[in-house]
Amino acid sequence: MLTILSVLAYIIHVCEVSSYEMLSPAEVIQIANNKCLLLNPINRGKEIVEMLIELESNVFREQDQLFIGTINVDGFLYPDKSQPNLPNTELFIFQKIIKDRSCLMKVPIPKPTIVPFTGMVNKENIIDFVNQYCFTYKSKNGALSIEGLHREEILKSLFHVSNISNKNIRNIFMHEDSSTCTSDSFENCLQEPQNIYHKSNIPQCERVNAENTKDFFNKYLKMSKPVIIEGAMKKWKSNKWSMKYFQEKYGDNDVHIKMTSTGEYEGVEPVTLWDNHEKFLKKIPREVKAKLPFPDLVVVRPATLNMKFSKFLDLIQSISNSNYKNVSAYLEYSSIREYFPELESDIEEMEFIKGILHLKHLNIWLSDGNTLGKTHFDPFDNFLCQISGKKEVILFEPHDNSRLYEAHIPEAILSFNKTEMTFSRRHLSDSTSLVMSPIDILKPNFQKFPKFAETYPLNCTINEGDVLFMPAFWWHEVQSYPSPTEGRNLAVNFWYEPFLTKEFPCPTCKLDVNPTYRNLL
């Protein structure tokens, strides 16, 4: 009897052990494409094995993001014969491989990043280790941790424009009195003009005074909710940034400027407008073409030019005075730290975000005021601070990017002839844009992009002294206008590592809390 019991116990034990598998290098790579791996090399640390088996069956049960197992480190070679740098520890993590979505060409098989466990071996430390490097949110008893609960709450309460308005593009573009339209087809009932900037019934962005931003984290940042903050630049010394001041102080600085003929920056147009497009399209490898949903379109990159800042200032004043026809010049997202480091002392980060978000870029934007930045998103939380002129910013939420047709779109770069002051379309590029929408919201092609009709736009127009908080990944189109007195448009913006992030291009990928900010949960 005793022997039967112990055999039974042995069998049960073996069954448990069987889920803690020995993996070949090929299996490690295969699993790492979908999951994070917690591995203990065979023959290292017997007490760890027991602990891992217990963690697997209790804490990390039903955890489909994690695989726990063992490997033989002796002679461990990946299928391509490369040898990973395996740490000499009893435990390590092979992180889930993040797909490189930016490159369309075949690349060598990516390898997981390996993180050694260095702390004292106990259950809590191992759980912390897994939470940190496998992006899980588990507590000791297997339930969601406080951070995990907070994250769930955040993802459930994200702001949608439909929470404040029932007007999607379909409603906005239809005749006010849609009963007069008898056609079944939406496209036949569109009201002219279709230019979104000529509509007036677009819901407005919330406005808040800088004094009432104490709860900014909970009310806006966490919810991915755009808001205009008034009075946040009161202490800035940017009021001395006149054209004359720029000329005198920084005239001799080198700047990198962008130019187009129409004032439109980075719009999308048919590739057929470009020289030699037939030859170019033929050269695109088949596997790349298969990943381009709109091979008939290109994102038009502006021409670029290096010059002295004084020359640029003359140029935009000249454009402003109509001395040049069909020429637009823009000092676009130009790094203040690189080109005008002294200007930084005249401005200040938003007080309510200082020390919370990590600043990535600080930019200056200057033009004659007649520019249109076409619909795109940026992978940064943005504070756009308007100093002179105004910007009419139309936003679309990032929750269902199939509606904005997020994709790789081939790029082309305008050429500029300085002698003639003319542009030409010659340079089709091998690269693609990952952040532009193929939809022209000034004249949407609903036949080609029917889902666009289901988006809910938001109007966030900023005037001098306004700051627009634009959460990362919100699509935006920006129509600038000149200051009537200064004939220019001037803004600065702060780009932060985003609190909520997503992979891109990936129309169905959802926002999630950026692991960088776990400490804020």
Contact residues for ligand NAG (CB under 6 A)?
160, 162-163, 196-197, 199-200, 202, 204, 325-326, 392, 417, 419-420, 459, 461
**Rounded Cα distance, 138 and 229, in Å:** 37
Q: Which is nearer to ligand NAG, 135 or 197 (CB)?
A: 197
For the bound state, the minimum distance from the C-beta of residue 447 to ligand NAG, rounded and expressed in Å, comes to 23
Kind plus residue range of the DSSP H or E element containing 465: none
For the bound state, the minimum distance from the C-beta of residue 138 to ligand NAG, rounded and expressed in Å, comes to 26
For the bound state, the minimum distance from the C-beta of residue 275 to ligand NAG, rounded and expressed in Å, comes to 12
Q: What's the alpha-carbon Rg for the chain, to the nearest Å?
A: 28
**Rounded Cα distance, 155 and 512, in Å:** 7
Structure tokens at 238: 């940017």
Q: No. of H helices and E strands in the chain?
A: 12, 25
Q: Which is nearer to ligand NAG, 30 or 204 (CB)?
A: 204
DSSP 471: -
Determine what percent of the chain falls in helix, strand and coil, rounding each to the nearest 5. 30, 30, 45
For the bound state, the minimum distance from the C-beta of residue 410 to ligand NAG, rounded and expressed in Å, comes to 23
Q: Which is nearer to ligand NAG, 255 or 395 (CB)?
A: 395
Judge whether 444 and 200 are in contact, CB under 8 Å: no
**Rounded Cα distance, 488 and 486, in Å:** 5
For the bound state, the minimum distance from the C-beta of residue 365 to ligand NAG, rounded and expressed in Å, comes to 19
**Rounded Cα distance, 336 and 237, in Å:** 15
49 backbone dihedrals φ, ψ, rounded to 5°? -55, -50
Q: Which is nearer to ligand NAG, 193 or 341 (CB)?
A: 193
For the bound state, the minimum distance from the C-beta of residue 484 to ligand NAG, rounded and expressed in Å, comes to 15
Q: Which is nearer to ligand NAG, 204 or 335 (CB)?
A: 204
For the bound state, the minimum distance from the C-beta of residue 363 to ligand NAG, rounded and expressed in Å, comes to 24
Outline where 306-447 has alpha helix (H). 309-320, 336-339
For the bound state, the minimum distance from the C-beta of residue 199 to ligand NAG, rounded and expressed in Å, comes to 5
Q: Which is nearer to ligand NAG, 31 or 202 (CB)?
A: 202
The 3-class secondary structure across 140-160, one letter per residue, is: CCCCECHHHHHHHHHHHCCCC
**Rounded Cα distance, 36 and 144, in Å:** 18
Q: Which is nearer to ligand NAG, 136 or 375 (CB)?
A: 375
Q: Which is nearer to ligand NAG, 378 or 392 (CB)?
A: 392
For the bound state, the minimum distance from the C-beta of residue 207 to ligand NAG, rounded and expressed in Å, comes to 9
DSSP 34-94: TSEEEEEETTS-HHHHHHHHHHHHTTTTT-TTEEEEEE--TT---TTS------SSS-EEE
Sequence-ordered strand ranges (E) for 205-253: 206-209, 227-230
Q: Which is nearer to ligand NAG, 41 or 471 (CB)?
A: 471
